[in-house]
Amino acid sequence: MRILVACERSGVVRDAFSRIGWEAWSCDIQETISPGNHYTGDVREILFEKWDLVIAHPPCTYLTVTGNKWFLPQFDSKFPTRKQDRKEAIEFFRIFTKLQCAYAIENPVGIMSTVYKKPDQIVHPYWFGEAERKATCLWLNKLPLLKATNKVEPVIIKYKNGKGTDSRWHMATMKLPPLERMNARSKTFQGVANAMAIQWGAHLTKRALDLRQQ
């Protein structure tokens, strides 16, 4: 069984599938952080090869709701290409929906729920033993919904001004340089990666075995 983890350089999801015996590859325009099977380059160059599963993490900078304020007219001069950047990000996201194999597309809450369709599922790391809150949308094809494996209470931090709350993972990355911050925030939590590998891996392996026996 072969899996491609698109737009991943951490290797977290790739390695979770490797541990259950899959031939797992990650792909990103940057080199992998963790040694393992990795294609450095544009994922479109290998996307439509023979994969049993693709898990995609398309960049969310121009898709997430947290960046919506930068599209207001008063910021046009500061970010003159932002609308075009969002258009290209949407087109890139849609490439993964053209796959015929099983796939999961992951993104935070954002514009794709409107311009594409609502996600099949929204999960949080605290469903899988990680005490963090991070709403993660999943668009699924030929895959079951992820089941919570170990629900724990998320650790929530209140802002000193009393006007909101945040999560430790998010606050810890605020002072990082832009590229490091983006990489840190895009990293999949280990508990989520393990659930993907165990649940989706078992589902697709069983499906493949059933087809061979027919």
What is the mean pLDDT of each successive set of 10 residues along the chain, which is 214 residues long? 97 98 97 96 98 97 74 67 89 98 96 96 98 96 98 92 84 81 86 98 94 84
Domains defined along the chain, listed by start: 2-60+89-213 (3.40.50.150)
Q: Which residues pair with residue 38 across a beta bridge?
A: 26
| Number of CB atoms found within 10 A of residue 107's CB | 23
Question: Measured between alpha carbons, how far apart are the two ends of the chain, in Å?
Answer: 18
* C-alpha dist (Å) from residue 138 to 28, 53, 160: 20, 14, 33
Residue 108: which of 123, 98, 129, 92 has the closest Cα?
A: 123
| Separation CA 19–CA 8 (nearest Å) | 17
What integer pLDDT is reported at residue 78 of this predicted model?
A: 64
Tokens of 117: 């369709």
| Separation CA 205–CA 20 (nearest Å) | 11
| Separation CA 110–CA 137 (nearest Å) | 9
| Separation CA 119–CA 105 (nearest Å) | 9
Residue 4: which of 15, 18, 12, 14 has the closest Cα?
A: 14
* Residues in the chain, overall count: 214
The pTM (predicted TM-score) of the whole model is: 0.91
